[in-house]
Structure 1
Amino acid sequence: MDSLLIYIGFAITVFTGFFAITNPIANLPVYMSIVEKANEEQKKEAKRKAVTVAFFIVLAFVILGKIIFSLFGLTIPAFKIAGGILIFLAGVDMVRSRDSNDDIEDEKKNRFDPNVAISPLATPLMAGPGSIVTAMTFVSGRGWIEMGIVIAMFGVICLLHFVIFRMSGLIIRRLGKNVIGVIGRIMGLIITVIGVGMVINGFELLIDF
């Protein structure tokens, strides 16, 4: 029973981390801008392709994470500290309302390009450096059960992206862009806290290493 509660708590932490770093609600204006020139069928295909590609990108890094650690001689404490710093900086950018997707506007063209489902929608919008670092940090030094939980939680995040993108018009009308901006700042604050926690945990591991 105690182990089940531990796994549930870990799953909630992982989901919160992924939700904060990917922020599906704050990504709505970016998504709508990218698919502005697309028809309904193209939008459906873009959503399906984007969430699928994003999921398999993170899946690959989660599964190959141990190999990458061995190949480059990385240590868990070092990765946690570096990953925590990167996540912290990403959160600070969000709190300060800096748009990490400024270059995404350059992807807009007079005619819709289906490749935008892969880039920039799948990566870096959904499966960017922040998501990859978060995933690898959560699985570093953990077993297969935790790895499965991380994969499952990112799958839930991908599904959530699909649903929110599908309801994009309704959500924008109900919430408004100002509310979405506030949500982005709150998510940024959560990310900074997660990043600090990872750095602290990394130093604790380093002391015991």
Structure 2
Amino acid sequence: MLESFITAFIVYFVVIDPIGNAPIFLAVTQHLDRASKTRTALECSLVAFGIMLFFALCGTWILGYLSISITAFKIAGGIILLLVSLDMLSAKRQKRKKQGSDKATESAENVAVFPLAIPLLAGPAAITSVMVVSADLAGNAAQSMIGYGALGAVMATTAAILVLTGLAQNFIDTRIASVFSRVTAIILAALSVQYIIDGLLELRLVGIGG
């Protein structure tokens, strides 16, 4: 069970990428005071958690209603996550987020919901991951609770990182955050390839070496 928790935690932490999103959080909330930054960090993390928990609970039902198999979703999710990881490695994803954040800061009344909760934290990659991981852990109630617990732990960690970012904004080195984002991108790429391999194995399109 501990292994399942750690695996789910790593997947969620990588795709949500709270450290990589920390500089964007500062850019979006630059017009707020420290107290407001803290409140915004907590609120956006809570909203993102609610969105992803919804997909964790209802994602499988949605797939069934649309007649999409879990195997097909694993392969599709793996491909999507692989593309996201490649974007992260080339910094395209961060640039797109930053551009979207700049526009939203000028018009949105509540930046905690948009663009922070959606799509920075609960973006397509995170939603895809939570549905795939939930499907993997859907064997029994205990396994499912482990997945939900891992998601909650990651979102609590995300909230803490964003709160600390707001409090220590003068000491954040964007180069360190960029390096860490690249490292997490490599991990995400490996996990996404594993999703694809698992799906192909279930379809018996590839053999098991050994």
Which of 112, 118, 127 is the equivalent residue of 1:117? 112
Contact between 2:72 and 2:199, CA under 8 Å: does it hold in 1?
Answer: yes
How many residue pairs get matched?
A: 200
Equivalent residue for 2:146? 149
Contact between 2:12 and 2:129, CA under 8 Å: does it hold in 1?
Answer: yes
- What is the CA–CA distance in structure 1 between the aligned matches of 2:55 and 2:167, rounded to whole Å? 34
- What is the CA–CA distance in structure 2 between the aligned matches of 1:66 and 1:87, rounded to whole Å? 18
Which of 48, 51, 74 is the equivalent residue of 2:42? 48
Matched, 1:162 2:159: yes
Counterpart code for 2:42 = R
With the length of structure 2 as denominator, give the TM-score of the two structures. Answer: 0.88
Q: Deviations over 1:137-183 (max 9, x none)?
A: 01215223222222111111111111111111566555511111010
Matched, 1:86 2:80: yes
Q: Deviations over 1:68-92 (max 9, x none)?
A: 1210011111010000000111001
- What is the CA–CA distance in structure 2 between the aligned matches of 1:187 and 1:58, rounded to whole Å? 20
Equivalent residue for 1:4? none
Per-residue deviation at 1:42? Answer: 2.4
Contact between 1:42 and 1:114, CA under 8 Å: does it hold in 2?
Answer: no
Q: Helix, strand or coil for the counterpart of 2:110? A: helix
- What is the CA–CA distance in structure 1 between the aligned matches of 2:142 and 2:90, rounded to whole Å? 36
With the length of structure 1 as denominator, give the TM-score of the two structures. Answer: 0.89
Q: Over aligned residue pairs, what C-alpha RMSD do you find?
A: 1.8
Equivalent residue for 1:60? 54
Contact between 2:165 and 2:172, CA under 8 Å: does it hold in 1?
Answer: no
Task: Sort the Cα spacing of 1:167 and 1:30 in 2 relative to 1 into closer, same or farther, 3 A.
Answer: same
Q: Helix, strand or coil for the counterpart of 2:204? A: helix
- Aligned identity (percent) is 28
Per-residue deviation at 1:96? Answer: 1.1
Contact between 1:94 and 1:184, CA under 8 Å: does it hold in 2?
Answer: yes
Q: Deviations over 1:24-71 (max 9, x none)?
A: 111111000011011233223212221111111011101112211210
Structure 1's unaligned 5+ residue stretches are 1-6
Structure 2's unaligned 5+ residue stretches are 206-210
Q: Deviations over 1:5-26 (max 9, x none)?
A: xx11111111111111111111
- What is the CA–CA distance in structure 2 between the aligned matches of 1:171 and 1:189, rounded to whole Å? 28
